[in-house]
């Protein structure tokens, strides 16, 4: 009888060990990115998503520099980027993860006010188109001006199971999902890689999309390139819930160990 009892205990313990190993292997399989790419040779992927330049909208902050043969003539305009908020033209970013974003604030009418040049309507233009327009207007007051326009507050937010969740202001408007996750220090081991949520504001409404980092099809997704104020949310997997219950799991383990020891002692008598 005791031999049969001990045999059942051993079989139960072996079953628990095998179950744990199999569940661990199952979770590891979900960790690598782009699993449908061949590990040997060269894989041909679908065409990459087309990048569409963002257009200037109200409340955007633009960094505008005007350069001329005589740099002192454009100094008034370029110095606006370092003035205080009281000028009504310049805003400083409070984002601690990137340098302070100074520049020209686009008002509700889609206009900015540039010294000497005056009001310029940039609503709906790309930074390339805005550069050409400002350069044309600046040519009336400056000699052979060279104009640079870029976003000073192109912001994306990464939340959830990443190493450094925060809002990030980037100097480059061509930002991909992978760029954003890289800035946030990549996903933690508890991040659900096959179901990353992207939240985007479109015409006053919220648009939601699901992205699978385990698949190389991500590169052809229309959401591969991020837009101004996009939010990425990485959901926690089941392992995260288990880690939050670590104390309870430890208690159960101790109880199980005690029961096993007691059962072993009883079987000897």
Tell me the pLDDT tens digit for each residue of 182-225: 999 999 999 999 999 999 998 889 999 999 999 888 999 999 99
pTM, two decimals, is 0.67
| pLDDT over 70 (residue 149) | yes
Here the contacts of 211-218 (C-beta below 8 Å, separation 24 or greater) are 211/177, 213/33, 213/34, 213/187, 214/30, 214/32, 214/33, 214/34, 214/35, 214/36, 215/34, 215/35, 215/36, 216/34, 216/36, 216/37, 216/43, 216/45, 217/36, 217/46, 218/34, 218/177
Q: Homologous superfamily of 154-236 in CATH? A: Outer membrane lipoprotein wza domain like (3.10.560.10)
In sequence order, what are the residues at sequence separation of 6 or more whose Cβ sits closer than 8 angstroms to the Cβ of residue 182? none
Span 70-110, pLDDT tens digits: 766 666 566 554 443 333 343 333 344 444 557 899 999 99
Of 13-17, 25-29, 88-92, 107-111, the range with the lowest mean pLDDT is 88-92
**Domain locations in the chain?**
2-29+242-267, 61-151, 154-236
CATH number listed for the domain at residues 61-151: 3.30.1950.10
Q: Give the tokens for residue 251.
A: 């208690």
Q: What is the mean pLDDT of residues 165-194?
A: 92
Q: How far apart are CA 89 and CA 117, in angstroms?
A: 14
Percent of the chain with pLDDT over 70: 63
In sequence order, what are the residues at sequence separation of 6 or more whose Cβ sits closer than 8 angstroms to the Cβ of residue 190? 161, 236, 237, 239, 240, 243
């Amino acid at each position: 009888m005791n031999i049969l009892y001990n045999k059942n205990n051993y079989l139960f313990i072996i079953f628990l060990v095998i179950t744990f190993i199999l569940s661990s292997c199952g979770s590891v399989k979900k960790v690598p990115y782009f699993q449908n790419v061949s590990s040997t040779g060269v894989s041909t992927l679908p065409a990459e998503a087309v990048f569409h330049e963002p257009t200037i909208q109200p409340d955007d902050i633009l960094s505008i520099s005007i350069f001329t043969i005589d740099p002192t003539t454009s100094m008034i305009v370029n110095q606006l980027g370092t003035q205080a908020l009281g000028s009504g033209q310049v805003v400083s970013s409070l984002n601690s993860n990137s340098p302070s974003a100074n520049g020209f604030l686009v008002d509700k009418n889609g206009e900015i006010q540039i010294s000497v040049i005056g009001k310029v309507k940039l609503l709906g233009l790309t930074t390339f188109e805005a550069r050409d327009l400002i350069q044309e207007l600046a040519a009336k007051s400056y000699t052979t001006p060279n104009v640079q326009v870029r976003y000073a507050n192109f912001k994306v937010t990464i939340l959830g199971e990443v190493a450094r969740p925060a809002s990030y202001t980037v100097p480059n408007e061509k930002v991909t999902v992978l760029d954003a996750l890289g800035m946030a220090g990549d996903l933690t081991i508890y991040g659900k890689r096959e179901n990353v949520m992207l939240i985007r504001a479109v015409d006053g409404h919220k648009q939601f999309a699901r992205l699978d980092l385990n698949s190389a099809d991500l590169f052809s997704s229309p959401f591969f390139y991020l837009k101004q104020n996009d939010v990425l949310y990485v959901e926690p997997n089941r392992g995260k819930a288990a880690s939050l219950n670590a104390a309870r799991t430890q208690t159960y383990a101790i109880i199980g160990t005690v029961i096993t020891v007691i059962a072993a002692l009883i079987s000897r008598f």
